[in-house]
Amino acid sequence: MIQISEIFLIIGIVIGVVFFIIVIWLLTGFKTATEYNRLIIFRFGRYKRTIGPGIVYVLPLIEKSMIVDIRIKTLDIAKQDIITKDNIPVTVDTSVFYKVVNPQYATIKIENYMRAVFNYTQGALRDVIGGMELDEVLSQREKISHEIRLVVDEETRDWGIEITQIKIQQIELPQNMKRAMAVQAEKEREKRATIIASEGEYEAAKNIAKAAELLAQNPAAIQLRSLQTIQDISHEPSQKIVIFMPSDIGNILKKL
């Protein structure tokens, strides 16, 4: 026969084991959320709370947790072939920088916010660049990035996503367009060089005219200038023969 003391002992052991199991089971609810993570807690399928960072507690079997990363993320948009307003095809390479500012909305309101940001940025990129001419696209990258960011951020704000920045990495043109632009740039440089040369000739002509006026006012200056020219020629060996004649030979010939 089992004595009463033995029955109480068995019951005590069972209670101890059950209590130990319950304690272990409750301890499994402790979790650690890093500084850049937040835990979304669902209780029986309904949103309950957002917790973290640090040591947090989730009721086992009753609550379910989902981890949301709130760091800034980079999303590279695949190269897009876009037709500009003046019917020029361009290939645009873009990067999007975004972060989760409301983990609850990013989990409940959108199934895959990364994919949603990707698709929405693609559409906004086509809309913005498609409404601009090629010269604007090439010279106003910051304006394009700003407009795309406004369009995308307005929509993603309801998803708990903030678009921090959009960067136009590269704009590629067709080869024939590159050649045409190279020719245009070359002609533009030739035009500037011609204008600069003509301006130099104009200034030189004005200075020569002023010098001629000064020399005409003083005949002795003309003789000094002639002597200076002769001295310059004598420094270089040549086959030239220099004949010195009076500076007023013209007047002498007229008298004859």
| The dihedral sign for the CA sequence 62, 67, 70, 73 | negative
Indicate the domain borders of the chain: 4-69, 76-173
The HSE-up count of residue 216 (CA atoms within 13 Å, CB side) is: 6
pLDDT tens-digit profile of 78-97? 888 888 888 888 888 899 99
CA torsion through residues 173, 174, 175, 176, sign: negative
| Residuewise pLDDT in 10s, the chain (256 residues) | 556 677 777 778 888 888 888 888 888 888 888 899 999 999 988 999 999 888 888 888 888 989 999 999 998 888 888 888 888 888 888 999 999 999 999 999 888 888 989 988 888 888 888 888 888 888 888 888 888 888 888 888 889 999 999 988 888 887 776 676 667 777 777 888 888 888 888 888 887 777 777 666 766 666 666 666 666 666 666 555 555 565 555 565 555 5
DSSP code, position 158:
G
CATH topology of domain 76-173: Tetrahydropterin Synthase; Chain A (3.30.479)
Distances (CA, A) of 3 to 14, 183, 213: 17, 109, 143
End-to-end CA distance of the chain: 171
Q: What is the pTM of this model?
A: 0.63
